[in-house]
Amino acid sequence: MRKIDVPKIPSSEITPEQVYLNRRQFIKLAAVGAAGSLLAACGVKTTSQGENTPTDISERPRDELGDPANSFEEITNYNNYYEFTMVKEGVASLAKNFPTSPWQVEVGGLVHKPRIFDMDDLRRFPQEERVYRLRCVEGWSMVIPWLGFPLSLLLKEVEPMTSAAFVKFTTIVDRENMPGVKSPFYPWPYTEGLRLDEAYHDLTLLVTGLYGKDLLPQNGAPLRLAVPWKYGFKSSKAIVKIELTESTPPTFWNIVAPNEYGFYANVNPQVPHPRWSQATERRIGENRRRETLLFNGYAEQVGQLYANMDLRVNY
Ligand code: MTE
């Protein structure tokens, strides 16, 4: 990503995540001593935030293709969240004290019953676990056990007008607590959008947690989107506004680099990014590259939505 000319961070300052995770593991084990090592060997987390999440791969939930979820440690320490920093390994510490309560989400635009929801309202929707693949446009992926509810349930409450055709999502801009938004190179706030039928699709999830716990700030607390058949940048974090619109909403990455990041952003191994192939990906925690699947492996569920579209044109 990061298409525009921003000061470059020397690659020597970016630790490959495997090295980083090994180092974290080492520091953790050294800190907790022999008892801690034993616990870790038994597959039990010893950190406060990830308590009771399985480190042992055999105990983790699996996606419908049989692949295990990434560890809590991986999911919460390798993040894209430009409002904080462009350095994936740096998001967690910068976002640590980001205030996520109280929080309100304004749902309006072309709806009959506009409404402001607070998080208690949103947690009243039936929460379910969905183990989804997340494929970043940059060529890495994870499997994440999200907790949330279909966006369609929220949309039905506000009764979209017949003129509504798209849904726009807007992320918070908190100048005091998000150092990245000081960058004048980016068109804050982070905005994203979906076609209304995509937004209504059962796979489209409003996420409040992962591994059975409330989201941490680095993953988009208190409310984010998960649209598993699209590149990860479609899944906005820290949503404060949801608007129904008549025409295609402008979106953050499309404004930054329109020829590189389209509105649709469906995962597609046959449509390369102008600067790299999308045919393969690296699952975080693995060294080999995997084949990328059409619609990230969800073609059976969502292929119909694009039946009459040229996916090379509508990238
Ligand atoms: N949402 C906001 N507000 N800001 C961002 O920078 N990055 C996106 C998406 N949502 C981003 C965002 C990208 S590029 C990806 S791959 C996913 O968040 C990463 O989600 P994760 O850090 O929970 O894995």
pLDDT-derived band at 13 (thresholds 50, 70, 90) equals very low
Q: Which residue has the higher pLDDT, 194 or 30?
A: 194
Which atom of ligand 1 has the smallest separation from the CA of 225? 10
Ligand 1 contact via 80 beta carbon (within 6 Å): yes
- Is the shortest distance between the CB of 296 and ligand 1 below 6 Å? no
Task: Indicate the top mutation candidate among 81, 140, 254 to test ligand 1's pocket, ranked by most ligand atoms within 8 A of CB.
Answer: 81
Is the minimum distance from the CB of 78 to ligand 1 under 6 angstroms?
no
Ligand 1 proximity of 233 Cβ (cutoff 6 Å):
yes
Q: What is the CA radius of gyration of the chain?
A: 19
Identify the sign of the CA torsion 63, 235, 90, 96. Answer: negative
CATH of the domain at 130: 3.90.420.10
Q: Is residue 16's pLDDT more than 80?
A: no
Q: Is 235 in the pocket of ligand 1 (CB under 6 A)?
A: yes
Counting residues of the chain whose pLDDT is more than 70, the rounded percentage is 85
Residue 76 has a CB neighbour count (10 Å cut-off) of: 23
Query: From the CB of 76, is ligand 1 less than 6 Å away?
Result: no
- Please work out whether the CB of residue 219 comes within 6 Å of at least one atom of ligand 1: yes
pLDDT value of residue 21: 40
Which of 80, 86, 214, 227 has the most ligand 1 atoms within 8 A of CB, as the residue to mutate? 80
Which residue would you say has higher pLDDT here, 156 or 47? Answer: 156
User: Which amino acid, one-letter code, is at 12?
Assistant: S
* Residue 313, in any domain of the structure: no
Give me the pLDDT at residue 2, please.
72
- Of ligand 1's listed atoms, the one at least distance from the Cα of 219 is 23
Closest-lying ligand 1 atom to the alpha carbon of residue 81: 6
- Provide the terminal-to-terminal Cα distance of the chain, rounded to the nearest Å: 15
The verdict on residue 6 lying in a domain is no
Q: Is the CB of 81 under 6 A from ligand 1?
A: yes
Residue 292 domain-assigned? yes
For residues 8-18, average pLDDT = 40
Using DSSP, state whether 5 is helix, strand or coil: coil
| 129 to 62, 140, 144, 226, 268: CA distances (angstroms) | 11, 22, 10, 12, 26
Place of tokens 């996916």: 311
The half-sphere exposure of 91 on its side-chain side, counting CA atoms within 13 A, is 22
C-alpha of residue 220 to centroid of ligand 1, in Å: 8
Query: Residue 310 carries which side chain, given as an amino acid letter?
Result: D
pLDDT per residue over 166-191, tens digit each? 999 999 999 999 999 999 999 999 99
Q: What is the percent of the chain with per-residue pLDDT over 90, rounded to a whole number?
A: 83
Is the C-beta atom of 135 inside 6 A of ligand 1?
no
pLDDT higher than threshold 50 for residue 142: yes
In a domain, 158, yes or no: yes
- At 50, the pLDDT band (50, 70, 90 cuts) reads confident
* Position 312 in a domain: no
The verdict on residue 127 lying in a domain is: yes
141 touches ligand 1 (CB under 6 Å): no
Q: How many structural domains compose the chain?
A: 1
Does 77 contact ligand 1 (Cβ within 6 A)? no
Task: Please say if the pLDDT value at position 44 is more than 90.
Answer: no
> Per the structure block, which two tokens stand in for 58?
């055999």
Asked, for residue 16, whether it belongs to a domain, the answer is no
**Alpha carbon distances (Å) from 154 to 32, 91, 121, 190, 229:** 44, 29, 10, 21, 20
What is the tens place of the pLDDT at every residue in 204-239? Answer: 999 999 999 999 999 999 999 999 999 999 999 999
Q: Does residue 28 lie in a domain region?
A: no
Ligand 1 proximity of 17 Cβ (cutoff 6 Å): no
* Distance from the alpha carbon of residue 218 to the mean position of ligand 1, in angstroms: 9
**What pLDDT shows up at residue 4?**
55
Domain encompassing residue 146:
33-306
Q: What is the mean pLDDT of residues 48-63?
A: 86
Q: How far is CA 230 from the centre of its chain?
A: 10
The answer to whether the beta carbons of residues 52 and 70 sit under 8 Å apart is no
pTM: 0.87
